[in-house]
Chain A
Amino acid sequence: MKSRPKKSQHRAAFEAIYERHSREVWALVYARWLNADVALDIMQETFLRLWKQWEEGSDIVNPRAWVLRVARNLAEDHAKSAFRRYGTQAPQTMNGVQGRERLPIEGMAQAETYSQLRRELELLAPADREILTLRYALEYDTEQIAQMLEINPTAVHMRLSRARQRLAERLTAQGVEASHD
């Protein structure tokens, strides 16, 4: 029987796991929903569940695999609950709606560009969105993405290129001008 580590060590070990994998969990859920708040909520819920398992003394061999699996399930559950809440309207339809606060003029053009980009991202396959999110939000290279998604690096490279090309074509067709800080 394993002796339980001290409380502070126990917590430190958990926080290390959180620090290492929470962004990956967020990215995975974000790719599914393209909603930063939903991704954050589900990420926190995932780690809360992991924490409870730890507190109960469950032996989780691979915490990364565990949190990724739980996050995927929660994201799918959110799909079902979102359907109940919004009927046939997916919550993404509200993404383009701006808040009451007025944006500064210079920010409005960028917000519009991002809104169009989000709409185009929604049309991509979820797997392609995952790759794009890992590449650009977490700055993972092809090898890291391949390892995380358990696919061939060549497939990652091809899908990344194809997704970028498709996005560029669609945005160009809409007259979106690429601008960044």
Chain B
Amino acid sequence: MTEIPTKDGNHPEMDAMLHDYFKSEMPRPWPGFKAPAETQILKPAGFWSRNTGRLALAACIAALMAGYFALAGNFPRTSAPNDVVREVGPNSAKGFEKPRHTIEE
């Protein structure tokens, strides 16, 4: 059995052993600091950017309807061969359809 000397009790070997031990425990090479990737803070989206899709859809529907009404005025209405007028109103029977000749003979 070998006695381990310490500095204080004139045992320099203990000093050397502790020095070697702690040095062996330290990471080598010493790691540098790695900053995390910069994070971009996203601003809350504005009204227009949030609703672009909805607005585009609404605009399409509006354009379609406007187109329909604009074009409808340009074409004459053709009457059906057997013109059937559905009577509506308080005196009309439900589901009753009365043929009416619009052209007087």
Task: Indicate if A61 sits at the interface (CB-CB under 8 A).
Answer: no
| Interface SS of B by simple majority | loop
B contact residues, range: 20 to 34
- B22 near A22 with CB under 8 A, answer no
**B7 at the A/B interface (Cβ < 8 Å)?**
yes
B36 near A48 with CB under 8 A, answer yes
Q: Residue of B at shortest CB range from A139?
A: B19
Q: Hey, which chain A residues are within 8 Å of B2, CB to CB?
A: 172, 175, 177-178
Are the C-beta atoms of A165 and B17 separated by less than 8 Å? no
Query: Given A15-B33, A167-B18, A114 and B24 touching (CB < 8 A)?
Result: yes
Closest B residue, CB atoms, query A54? B35
Contact between B8 and A180, CB atoms less than 8 A apart: no
Decide: A161 near B8, CB < 8 A? Known: A47-B33, A168-B14, A177-B2.
yes
Known: A40-B27, A172-B4, A178-B16. A136 touches B9 (CB 8 A): no
Interface 1/0s, chain B 17-41, versus A by CB < 8 A?
1111111111100111101100000
Binary per-residue interface labels of chain A (128-149) against chain B in the complex, 1 for a CB within 8 Å, 0 otherwise: 0000110111000000000000
Residue of A nearest to B8 (CB): A161
Q: Would you call B56 an interface residue if the criterion is a C-beta within 8 Å of the partner chain's C-beta atoms?
A: no
Interface status of B5 (Cβ within 8 A of chain A): yes
Shortest CB-to-CB span from B22 to chain A, Å, is 4
A contact residues, range = 35 or more
Q: How long is the Cα–Cα vector from A176 to B2 in the complex, in angstroms?
A: 7
A164-B27 contact given A11-B35, A18-B33, A136-B22, CB 8 Å threshold? no
Q: Which of A14, A164, A167 has the most CB of B within 10 A?
A: A164
Give 19 CB contacts A-B under 8 Å: A15-B33, A23-B30, A26-B27, A44-B33, A114-B24, A117-B18, A135-B18, A136-B19, A137-B25, A161-B6, A161-B8, A164-B7, A164-B11, A164-B15, A172-B1, A177-B4, A178-B4, A178-B17, A179-B17
11 extra interchain contacts, Cβ-Cβ under 8 A, other than A51-B33, A178-B16? A15-B32, A36-B27, A40-B31, A114-B24, A137-B25, A164-B6, A164-B14, A165-B9, A172-B1, A180-B13, A180-B16
A-B pairs, top 9 by smallest CB distance, nearest first, are: A137-B22, A136-B22, A178-B13, A161-B8, A180-B20, A177-B2, A18-B33, A178-B4, A168-B6
